Chains A and B, each alone.
Chain A
Amino acid sequence: MLQSKSFAKKTKQGRVIKVVREHYLRDDIYCGATFCKVCDTSAARLSASASATILIVDTNVVLNQIDLLENPKIDDVVVLSVVLEEVRHKNLSVYNRVKALCTNPLRKFFVFSNEHHRDTYVKDMIGESPNDRNDRAIRVAARWYQSHLGESTQILLITNDRENKKRATEEGISAETVESYVKSLGKPDLLDLVVLSSSVDVPMEDVEDLRPSKKKIIYSEHKPMSEVTSGLLHGIYHQGKLRVNRYNPFEAYVGSESISEEIVICGRANMNRAFHGDIVAVELLPQDQWRDGKSLIIDDDDDDEEEVHLVPNSADDVPRFENPVQPMSGSSPPVSSHPPGRVVGIIKRNWHSYCGSLDPMPMPAGNAGVAHALFASKDRRIPKIRIQTRQLGNLLDKRIIVAVDSWDCLSRYPSGHYVRTIGQIGDRDTESEVLLIENDINSRPFSSQVLACLPPLPWSLSLEDLANSNREDLRHLRVFSVDPPGCKDIDDALHCKPLGNGNFEVGVHIADVTNFVLPGTPLDEEASQRGTSVYLVERRIDMLPKSLTEDICSLRSDVERLSFSVIWELTPDANIVSTRYTKSAIKSCAALSYVEAQARMDDSRLMDPLTTDLRNLNSLAKIMRLRRIKRGALTLASPEVKFQIDTETHDPLDIGMYQIREANQMIEEFMLAANISVAEKILKHFPLCSLLRRHPSPTKEMLEPLLRTAAAVGLDLDVSSSKALADSLDRAVGDDPYFNKLIRILATRCMTQAIYFSSGDLSPSEFSHYGLAAPIYTHFTSPIRRYADVIVHRLLAAALGISRLPPIFMDGPQLTSIADNLNYRHRNAQMASRASVELHTVIFFRNRPTDTEARILKIKSNGFIVFVPKFGIEGPVYLVAKDKGSSDWAVDEAHQKVTKAGTKITYGILQTVRIHMEVVEPQPNRPKLQLTLIS
């Protein structure tokens, strides 16, 4: 059965070398048809009836029409290994999608290893290009199938390549293009999924016809790849990832290694068809064009107005306004120091599918016909996409997913195709799903392989667990947990025991998740991919399956649970005498909520042991907190919004700020201390592969908006260090009680986000955590909902000699990529939570127009941005109607004031104004929250 064929091929790897590989041809590869009498049918996946049509697709069909193939109406497809290989080289994400299709038991997709089959292997012919050779291999395989399965079965080669189709027909193979095949199926909704190849492009009347000059070249041609490469080499062009400004889609930044600064790219013409996330080659604009970037913007009918959104929590979420106000006079050059550039070529596309909706448009005459519509993505960084549809009436009020196919320089918008419908616009479930998709959050149920890794329920503490010499039995201790009300995934608990010498023994007990999530299992892989649990207003998307999060790992009261404990001996002044780490078994005696814990501490009549423990802990926490603040930790404020949700309809009933109590701070303090202690321990043992968390100091530029605001209200802030900033924030007390909080909120948004990293990647001086003023920090205390903590648990267990360090930690690059993924997931989870709150805010105000107080945060030429403390949102208030070009309001930038010409009406920064909040629908199906001034 084994035949050997050695073949030689040349590969280019800087130089030409000859590679000789063994290549075995075999006769035990089966056709995969269930009805086949010759072949072994145990692994067959194709149709059972001999009269079926079996499709063989070529590489370009897979690459371009993957959305079509994923539709369950397309079945009985043979994917040849030569096609699969080509797809893998050209587009990995499409390859993964095809692979998923081929392994999905519900779909009839079969992989045929034509390259290793004795009868279908083709040798290279002299003078034949690899493409032609592969096309020939596909045809040979098609012919083999036809002769193997006999005449009654139709084998159809699907190819859009004209030459290939012609040759196939000559060789007696039936071949069709995608369009003609799908048309022959008679299913109009499938046609929407077909990507039209440019050669057979239908004239695009509807959209383009509105423009007088129809075939005008709108974008300049991309430079050929060879020129781009040599340009990059000579430093004429700069390579980098294009990041579009979230708040102004006409402005983008390219961070390039070849130039220390970020290059700013203004206007779609300069962006030259690049999408957010593309790797592009950029050319710097000549000095004299440095400031007329604005004039280069193609005027677009996009509404470029700001929307009401949540208050940002860090600098990364803050809108960046390149040109906040017009410069006072022409004398001084504008503040922006970023050199402007222009995209000359795209090195790697970042196209994927986008969520959004169609722009409202009238029904074209004759509803059955093909309509061309513009799709607006929910992500404002993505330009509108032109699609063709036969079901326009159906789609207009739906959220849909659209994929991009091409963008040539003659067309203003990229063209794409419809992929699928999510649901009705404005519907809460639809919009929630949209925000999950947008943030790349996997909300699918856990697979059976993952669930197979779970211990059987009901789980209880076994004798083996207790017999383990590494596990200490701490069930006799009075352990309790304090969490938000209704919390089911309790991952931390505490105990506090006075010792004979006047000191206290304080223990932080964390759910022992790594006892159940073993490295390398499907469960572990899934958790590492998800990275974190995501908390939306009405639901939670778990990182681990429910039986672990809510039962087996959750440190609920009155049940015995496994935990990983950090136990300190603390003096009454909260100085650490000794630290001990151990795996343990505990039995929590009470699961308190913050409110309950606070009430117990405040009620002076209660003298039971639990309350005494709480009070002891609280007094220790206060000292620790004070010491931390003295060291320079920042007390930042972020207005967290809390919804009250109707249990039946899941609609928000009430909205308000989350109240922070002493009990919250107490728990936070001990968690911080545990995290720091664990960070020290793991770093000592594994200086090169510990997963830590750092918070970089904000740069001068990032603090600029804070300083400008502070200066306008006559406040002097010292930002030289976190300590100095913390002190000056403490001194910033205005006439009203909310002033200090407001300044802190402003300071918060100037900070960067904290990130995970592997200690081998940075030097120790870079480990520090700015916000906490700690030299090192990590996450240890929430392994149920964060994967970083799972990793840290494994590191700590290895440091204690309890278990071996999984081999993945030896692999530096792998560890870095895990940390990167965690940062990405973490950030997406935050964005999704914010988006969810925003969504519910709109739903809440839909039937409740409200008047409330707001504070002015930023002055603009036509209005100002206000912050609504009660609801934690911010948004624009316009003084001038949008369509009026000129305004009679003058901006005083130095004092951050806007004054109406000829009057004394003035609005200054941080001033209190009364506003009216209401949900309006300027366009059908596009509800948004509008803020207007009540004068």
Chain B
Amino acid sequence: MEYVDSLTGFRLDGRRPNDIRQIRAEIGVVAKADGSALFEMGNTKVIAAVYRPTEVQNKGQQINNQALVRCEYSMANFSTRDLQEDQRGTEISLVICQTMEACILVHLMPCSQIDIFVQVLQADGETRSACINAATLTLADACFPMRDIVTSCSAGYLSSTPLLHLNYVEDSARGPDVTVGILAKMDKVTLLQMGSKLPIDIFENVMQLAIEGCKAIAQYIREVLLENTKLLESRKGL
């Protein structure tokens, strides 16, 4: 199958190889939670919520000099037709958990537990990136102390072209894909996963593309947060 039209240079959905998908974010969708956000990347739709740090439930897991970050990831039953997606749940929640732990200043909250809840409402490729982005927004919304905004994005390599932001059809091609998470301002990589093997020179191109995608998302997230802050400002009458 031809994933990039050789005549027009467009991908199946009309994007060029280094175009990101349409992204949209909304903060405060779950009013009761301390922080919540809805994050959309194309047709992928993810909701996330977080409460303020609590006491560690299972004392055996308590860490004395930092907070324990836990993530509960789930997929809504209606989110996809593909049942096999479900089986990756444990792995994805671990990935999210580790990525978030790297950006929260956990040492400020010793002996406590942070629970992040992420649910996929609609799956259409790149769910783990969407989850991380949603979690970032959520944590920012709940005013957790963070090093930086962590954003994630994936890039793949199909039809001999590096492609940014694989959608479901491109993802199903089972080509090599690289998921990257970065701390945008600090320019540090916190997550790097690869589906299959790639020659090193191609890998570098693909990864560079993914990093650019992450930065674009970070830019957008920052705008959303700024907007939100302004809104809060006006509400408080400042």
> Which of B8, B12, B19, B124 is in CB contact (< 8 Å) with A111?
B8
Q: Given known contacts A2-B19, A115-B14, is B7 in contact with A21 (CB within 8 Å)?
A: no
What A residues does B169 contact at CB under 8 A?
Answer: 21
Q: Given known contacts A99-B6, A113-B8, A116-B14, is B81 in contact with A22 (CB within 8 Å)?
A: no
What A residues does B168 contact at CB under 8 A?
Answer: 21
What B residues does A99 contact at CB under 8 A?
Answer: 6-7
Q: Could you count the A-B residue pairs with CB atoms below 8 Å apart for me: how many are there?
A: 48
Q: Given known contacts A2-B22, A111-B7, A111-B8, is B81 in contact with A24 (CB within 8 Å)?
A: no
The answer to whether A17 touches B81 (Cβ under 8 A) is yes
Q: Given known contacts A21-B169, A24-B15, is B22 in contact with A113 (CB within 8 Å)?
A: no
A25 interface residue per 8 A CB criterion: yes
- In the complex the two chains form, what is the Cα distance from A57 to B22 in whole Å? 33
What A residues does B8 contact at CB under 8 A?
Answer: 81, 111, 113
A477 interface residue per 8 A CB criterion: no
Q: Given known contacts A103-B7, A113-B8, A113-B14, is B19 in contact with A22 (CB within 8 Å)?
A: no
> Which of A4, A20, A103 is in CB contact (< 8 Å) with B22?
A4
Q: Given known contacts A22-B43, A24-B15, is B7 in contact with A84 (CB within 8 Å)?
A: yes
What B residues does A25 contact at CB under 8 A?
Answer: 14
* B6, B14, B42, B43: residue with the most chain A Cβ atoms closer than 10 Å: B14
- In the complex the two chains form, what is the Cα distance from A2 to B164 in whole Å? 15
- In the complex the two chains form, what is the Cα distance from A84 to B169 in whole Å? 20
Interface of chain A residues 70 through 110 with chain B (CB within 8 A): 81, 84, 99, 102-103
What B residues does A81 contact at CB under 8 A?
Answer: 5, 8
The answer to whether A103 touches B13 (Cβ under 8 A) is no
- In the complex the two chains form, what is the Cα distance from A84 to B5 in whole Å? 11
A6 interface residue per 8 A CB criterion: yes
Interface residue tally of chain A, by bracket? 20 to 34
CB distance from A500 to the nearest CB of B (A): 47
What B residues does A17 contact at CB under 8 A?
Answer: 81
> Which of B5, B7, B13, B81 is in CB contact (< 8 Å) with A23?
B13
- In the complex the two chains form, what is the Cα distance from A113 to B5 in whole Å? 10
The answer to whether B6 touches A24 (Cβ under 8 A) is no
What B residues does A26 contact at CB under 8 A?
Answer: 14
Q: Given known contacts A2-B19, A22-B21, A22-B43, is B14 in contact with A102 (CB within 8 Å)?
A: no
- In the complex the two chains form, what is the Cα distance from A26 to B10 in whole Å? 11
B93 interface residue per 8 A CB criterion: no
- In the complex the two chains form, what is the Cα distance from A116 to B10 in whole Å? 9
> Hey, what's the 0/1 contact readout for B11-53 against A, CB within 8 Å counting as 1?
0111100010110000000000000000000110000000000
B167 interface residue per 8 A CB criterion: yes
The answer to whether B42 touches A22 (Cβ under 8 A) is yes
Q: Given known contacts A6-B43, A113-B14, A116-B14, is B22 in contact with A24 (CB within 8 Å)?
A: yes
CB-CB nearest in chain B for A81? B8
CB-CB nearest in chain B for A98? B7
> Which of A2, A22, A113, A115 is in CB contact (< 8 Å) with B167?
A22
- In the complex the two chains form, what is the Cα distance from A387 to B66 in whole Å? 86
- In the complex the two chains form, what is the Cα distance from A229 to B81 in whole Å? 30
- In the complex the two chains form, what is the Cα distance from A84 to B7 in whole Å? 10
> Hey, what's the 0/1 contact readout for A2-20 against B, CB within 8 Å counting as 1?
1010100000000001001
Q: Given known contacts A2-B19, A2-B22, A4-B22, is B13 in contact with A21 (CB within 8 Å)?
A: yes
CB distance from B9 to the nearest CB of A (A): 9
- In the complex the two chains form, what is the Cα distance from A111 to B6 in whole Å? 10
- In the complex the two chains form, what is the Cα distance from A310 to B169 in whole Å? 54
- In the complex the two chains form, what is the Cα distance from A81 to B10 in whole Å? 11
What B residues does A84 contact at CB under 8 A?
Answer: 7
> Hey, what's the 0/1 contact readout for B145-181 against A, CB within 8 Å counting as 1?
0000000000000000000000111000000000000
CB distance from A99 to the nearest CB of B (A): 7
> Hey, what's the 0/1 contact readout for A195-238 against B, CB within 8 Å counting as 1?
00000000000000000000000000000000000000000000
What A residues does B5 contact at CB under 8 A?
Answer: 81, 113
- In the complex the two chains form, what is the Cα distance from A25 to B14 in whole Å? 7
Interface of chain A residues 106 through 146 with chain B (CB within 8 A): 111, 113, 115-116
The answer to whether B124 touches A20 (Cβ under 8 A) is yes
CB-CB nearest in chain B for A20? B43
Interface of chain A residues 438 through 456 with chain B (CB within 8 A): none
- In the complex the two chains form, what is the Cα distance from A22 to B43 in whole Å? 7
CB-CB nearest in chain A for B2? A88
What A residues does B7 contact at CB under 8 A?
Answer: 84, 99, 102-103, 111
What A residues does B14 contact at CB under 8 A?
Answer: 23-26, 113, 115-116
CB-CB nearest in chain B for A1? B19
> Hey, what's the 0/1 contact readout for A250-287 against B, CB within 8 Å counting as 1?
00000000000000000000000000000000000000
CB-CB nearest in chain A for B22? A4
CB distance from B110 to the nearest CB of A (A): 44
CB-CB nearest in chain A for B196? A807
- In the complex the two chains form, what is the Cα distance from A26 to B43 in whole Å? 18
What A residues does B42 contact at CB under 8 A?
Answer: 4, 22
CB distance from B14 to the nearest CB of A (A): 4
CB distance from B43 to the nearest CB of A (A): 6
The answer to whether A22 touches B10 (Cβ under 8 A) is no
- In the complex the two chains form, what is the Cα distance from A115 to B10 in whole Å? 11
CB-CB nearest in chain B for A110? B7
- In the complex the two chains form, what is the Cα distance from A111 to B124 in whole Å? 29
> Which of A2, A4, A113 is in CB contact (< 8 Å) with B10?
A113
Interface of chain B residues 100 through 144 with chain A (CB within 8 A): 124
What A residues does B10 contact at CB under 8 A?
Answer: 113, 116
CB-CB nearest in chain A for B44? A22
- In the complex the two chains form, what is the Cα distance from A20 to B169 in whole Å? 11
Chain A to chain B contacts (Cβ below 8 Å), 10 pairs: A2-B15, A21-B43, A22-B22, A23-B13, A24-B19, A25-B14, A26-B14, A81-B5, A84-B7, A103-B7
Having A2-B22, A17-B81, A116-B10, one finds 20 other A-B pairs with CB under 8 Å, namely: A2-B15, A6-B43, A20-B43, A20-B124, A21-B13, A22-B13, A22-B124, A23-B13, A23-B14, A24-B13, A24-B15, A24-B19, A26-B14, A81-B5, A84-B7, A102-B7, A103-B6, A103-B7, A113-B5, A113-B10
7 cross-chain pairs, A with B, having the tightest CB-CB distances, nearest first: A116-B14, A24-B14, A4-B22, A111-B7, A22-B42, A22-B13, A113-B8
